[in-house]
Structure 1
Amino acid sequence: MADLDYSNLHPDTLAVRAGTHRTEFGEHSDAMFLTSSFVVETAEEAQLKFTGQVPGFIYSRFTNPTVSAFEERLAAMEGAERAVATASGMSAILSLCMAHLKSGDHILASSVLFGSTMQLFNNYLAKFGVEVTYASPVDLAEWHAGVRPNTRMFFLETPSNPLIDVADIRAIADVAHANNALLVVDNCFCSPALQQPLKLGADIVVHSATKYIDGQGRVLGGAVVGSSALIEPVYLFLRTAGPTLSPFNAWVLLKGLETLSLRMKAHSENAIKLARWLETHPEVEHVYYSGLKSHPQHELANRQQSGHGGVVSFDVKGGKDAAWRIIDRVQLMSRTANLGDVRTTISHPATTSHGRLTQEARNRAGIGDGLIRISVGLEHIGDLIADLERGFSA
């Protein structure tokens, strides 16, 4: 499998076959290497491996066959040269920033991001002299206007969490590159099964593999994906600092990739049915889902995505009190802020995933007190609708 030409294979095939390197035992499934270190035959071999003069595995903080298999498979699915796997999605973003930014640099980021990403930018990178300002993900003029002489990185999620804004990746990439900045795209909501940002002009893709890549809420993981030149500094940071993906988690994520395309199609099918039902509900003020024709970036999403994913958000009449009553009343959906699971989850972003943001920041992002986010799972859609109707009946 090591000599397989990935360029000729469909992503569905890459999800099953890429990164497969069998041992002398000829195992059919991916092997799991649960070891902290690897033995060498001679002192000279150790020196050559530690200095990078010959390839090989040394220590699982930065070299492990199972982790490498996951990295190779994910890179192939994203159409990238290389990937580095990390312990979580947030450690992927931290590793990226530590590798590519320094004091005095500026990030221009989307104003609608995962709450922890904004916390990292505002509360921690700022302590080390990295400036961060924000632009609307759907207003290209704000990206033009937000550039500074010290801007080194554009950062966006598309679709965004939790309002499903769809950013024009190619247009924003053009602005970034015209100003000698990198464009980083968080591809968590679509995964490589539905969207490949590098092919649209992005320089780097980050993932919370905890979400759809695993798909069953079992383990944490993250990844940074891009060209070898851009990923090497991230790898060197990880080798030193150690926000490392464990071999066991890597093995679980390898299994997740094998069914990713099938699951994303099923999530998308359920989500559009739920979104259309919500649009007709008298207690719903607005539904956020790019698969709906009413979504302002529906056509753009159709161009740069092969599906619309499984996350649906909506505003309910009555604000926080009404939203909490609905969430407390459902019986089938899981009340948890995680997403990307085969089990449907329901959450109140203003008091959970985005609860640490200031009220001003939530207002700027459009996250109101009546907003509910649902990560639509793989249960029967009729049962999900009945469960939500139970919530509304409260």
Structure 2
Amino acid sequence: MTMHGFATRAIHAGQDPDPTTGSVIVPIHATSTYAQDGVGGLREGYEYSRTGNPTRTALETCLASLERGKHGRAFSSGMAATDAALRAMCRPGDHVVIPNDAYGGTFRLIDKVLSVWGVEHTPVALSDVDAVRAAIRPTTKVVWVETPTNPLLNIADIASLAQVAHSAGARLVVDNTFASPYLQSPLDLGADVVLHSTTKYIGGHSDVVGGALITSDDELNAQFGFLQNGAGGVPGPFDAYLTLRGLKTLELRMEKHSDNAELVVQALLRHPKVKTVLYPGLPEHPGHEVAAKQMKRFGGMISFTVEGGEQAALDVCSRTKLFTLAESLGGVESLIEHPGRMTHASTAGSLLQVPDDLVRISVGIESGEDLVEDLVTALG
């Protein structure tokens, strides 16, 4: 049977009932090794769980289906997936174009780790296609895209950037963590690879750390698989199970996250102590038109700046009761953080340093009216 609907694929892709027991839910295959029928006689291709595990295979199959790709690879964290993607595509002397407001962990990996091995990078405003084209060098192998970006919620035109990258012989990688596969399909827009921190919206419950790479390129998939096995940054079967469990409700959650975010945005816009609200769903957002074209809805992430500078931003973060002061995002519960001191501290003093009066919130799926009241009270 062909599965067209997103929710149908989230619940069934790679997740047929167990042929031995009839278990409706994919079992947690808590094993490190597998019996062989004679030397080299592998059952279903499994020999050792770093190389492959049936629970992980189910997750990878489902992720590939949801991102409309041929191949999925799961990793132990979003950063492990980022590292594998860049090591598969770059060699010493190569060059990467990155967002000028990239996630702090991505920037740290490229600026502090890969640079030691001779991989160079240029930060650029990805919303400016001409600027990206100008930043590309003969040695550019990857254009790395976040859209929306973390934490400034800027929007990149995936289709346009894919054309720019491919015309220069480079590959386009899209970090789709903020949007999730439900709201945005980068491979359909020309991306070569989609990356996720599955810790966030895909897992959705703040109880598991993971990452993923999805592609339709057979050669890249083989390289990702080699690095999974060779470097070993893979999730255990329980992590794969939890992530797969989260995927089943992704559509429902993303709709509620988006509903609540729209309520919160309107409340922030009305508040006298809020200077600017960064949300791609706002018509005045510079990336709104592109976001409306390539996203189903605008998601649950909002950033805003406050009157009174850094101390005022820190005060807001400390006063909320329902919004928990914590890093990460995408869980069912609402979170608030100060990027300059927390998730993006690694960008301090660089071109990617974020404003010190910036607050980032991950809007959960609680009652929207309660979330508005909590923020308004915290703002004073």
Instruction: Identify the TM-score tier after normalising by the shorter chain.
Output: over 0.9
CA–CA separation in structure 2 for the residues paired with 1:5 and 1:382: 40
CA separation of 1:285 and 1:205: change in aligned 2, threshold 3 A: same
Q: Does residue 37 of structure 2 align to residue 41 of structure 1?
A: yes
Please give the residue correspondences for 1:74-113 in structure 2 after superposition, counting only pairs within 5 Å.
Answer: 74-113=63-102
- Give the equivalent residue in structure 1 for 2:374: 387
Is 1:344 matched with 2:334?
A: yes
Equivalent in the alignment of 1:281: 271
**Given that residues 123 and 351 in structure 2 are in contact (C-alpha distance below 8 angstroms), is that contact kept between their aligned partners in structure 1?**
no
The answer on 1:238 being equivalent to 2:221 is: no
Partner of residue 10, structure 1: 5
CA contact (8 A) 2:324 2:335 kept: yes
Distance 2:123 2:295 in 1: 24
Q: Are 2:18 and 1:29 equivalent residues in the alignment?
A: no
Match of 1:337, SS state, is coil
Specify the alignment match of 2:14 in structure 1: 19
RMSD: 1.2
CA positional deviation for 1:99: 1.5
Q: Map of 1:203-218 to 2, 5 A cutoff?
A: 203-218=192-207
Q: What's the secondary structure of 1:84's corresponding residue?
A: strand
Q: Report the counterpart of residue 297 of structure 2 in structure 1.
A: 307
Task: Give, in angstroms, the shift of residue 371 of structure 1.
Answer: 0.3
Query: In 1, distance between residues paired with 2:266 and 2:287?
Result: 16
Query: Does residue 168 of the first structure (1) align with residue 163 of the second (2)?
Result: no
Secondary structure at the residue paired with 2:212? strand
Give the distance between the partners of 1:231 and 1:183, measured in 2 at CA: 15
**CA offset at residue 55 of structure 1?**
5.0
Give the 3-state SS of the residue equivalent to 2:297 in structure 1. coil
1:376 has 2:363 as partner: yes
Residue 174 (structure 2) pairs with residue 185 (structure 1): yes
Q: Which amino acid aligns with 2:60?
A: E
Q: Is the 8 A contact 2:93 2:139 kept in 1?
A: yes
Contact 1:108 1:132 in 2 (8 A): yes
Contact 2:100 2:352 in 1 (8 A): no
CA–CA separation in structure 2 for the residues paired with 1:159 and 1:389: 25
1:102 alignment partner, SS class:
coil
Deviation at 1:372, TM superposition (A): 0.3
The answer to whether the 8 Å contact 2:301/2:363 transfers is yes
Moved over 3 A (4+): none
1:356 aligns with 2:346: yes
For 2:257, the equivalent position in structure 1 comes to 267
Aligned counterpart in structure 1 of residue 284 of structure 2, from 264, 285, 294: 294
- Post-superposition Cα deviations, 1:152-196, rounded to whole Å, max 9, x if no partner, equal 110010000011111000000000000010000000001101101
Instruction: Measure, in 2, the Cα distance between the counterparts of 1:280 and 1:137.
Output: 30
Alignment-derived partner of residue 124 in structure 2:
135
Which sits farther off after the overlay, 192-201 or 384-393?
A: 384-393
What is the identity, as a one-letter code, of the residue corresponding to 1:358? A
Gap regions ≥5 residues in structure 1: none
SS at match of 2:340: helix
Q: For 1:346 and 1:242, how far apart are their aligned partners in 2?
A: 33
CA displacement 1:226-247 (0-9 Å, x = unmatched):
0222211011011111001111
Q: How far does residue 331 in structure 1 lie from its aligned partner after superposition?
A: 1.4
Matched, 1:330 2:330: no
Gaps (5+ residues) in structure 2? none
Contact residue 148 and residue 156 of structure 2 kept, 8 A: yes
Total equivalences in the alignment: 378
Q: Which secondary structure does the structure 2 equivalent of 1:148 belong to?
A: coil
Partner of 2:57: 68
Q: Tell me the distance in 1 between the aligned counterparts of 2:198 and 2:25.
A: 20
For residue 309 of structure 1, give the secondary structure of its aligned residue in structure 2.
coil
1:351-387 per-residue CA deviation (whole Å, 9 max, x = no partner) reads 1001121334244xxx211100000001111111111
Q: Report the equivalent of 1:198.
A: 187
> How far apart are residue 23 of structure 1 and its match?
2.8
2:102–2:352: 8 Å Cα contact kept in structure 1?
Answer: no
Given that residues 276 and 292 in structure 1 are in contact (C-alpha distance below 8 angstroms), is that contact kept between their aligned partners in structure 2?
no
Distance 1:358 1:332 in 2: 29
Distance 1:151 1:360 in 2: 21
Residue 346 of structure 2 aligns to a residue whose secondary structure is coil
Task: Determine helix, strand or coil for the equivalent of 1:350.
Answer: coil
Residue 10 (structure 1) shift: 1.5
CA distance in 2, matches of 1:44, 1:235: 19
Provide, for residues 304-325 of structure 1, a one-character-per-residue CA deviation record: whole Å limited to 9, x for no partner: 0001110010000111110111
Q: How much does 1:206 deviate?
A: 0.4
